[in-house]
Amino acid sequence: MTIRTIACCTDFSDNADKAVAAAGDLANRFGATLFILHVLPPVVNPVLTEAEWIPPEEAPRETILMQLQERMRERYGNTTPNVTPQFVVLDGHVSTEILAFLEERGVDLVVMGSYGLSGMGLVLFGSVTKRVSQKAACSVMIVREDDA
């Protein structure tokens, strides 16, 4: 298996941080390009019907996307020596956007944490890691939390 391109997905959880570290280590070992991805999901309130939903007006989505990219640079910019990750923020349904990115870029390996959101977020959106691992055309590495 040749690994030239690695993508790592983050939701900024501790488990995602471990996945980013593992992806950085692999990118360093293989001399691969590393993409660190975050997807801003659509705003959904399951209690409201479509007619009642009004988009929030606090900050434009473009501003939020830029802020997320900056947050990624600050958090993961110096994760691994000799690796300069490319930070990508996508907007839409999380697993759909990740799968489209993997296909468009011809990614060889995607690295993800075993879980991120918990509680109601997991119930409403399901497991992104599970969906990506079942549908991705590339290999998937799932990083698990230490049992400490």
pLDDT of residue 123: 42
CA-based nearest residue to 128, from 64, 32, 140: 140
Q: If you average pLDDT over residues 19-31, what whole number do you get? A: 95
Output 137 or 43, whichever has higher pLDDT.
137
| DSSP tally for the chain: helices H, then strands E | 5, 5
CATH of segment(s) 5-143: 3.40.50.620
Q: How many CB atoms lie within 10 A of CB 84?
A: 10
The torsion defined by the Cα of 40, 78, 139 and 10, in degrees rounded to 10, comes to -20
Which pTM was predicted?
0.81
Output 65 or 111, whichever has higher pLDDT.
111
pLDDT by residue (tens digit) across 28-38?
A: 999 999 999 99
Cα–Cα distance, 71 to 89 (Å, whole number): 11
The secondary structure of 36-60 as a DSSP string is: EEEEEPPP--TTS-GGG-----SS-
pLDDT by residue (tens digit) across 5-18?
A: 999 999 988 889 99
Domain ranges of the chain: 5-143
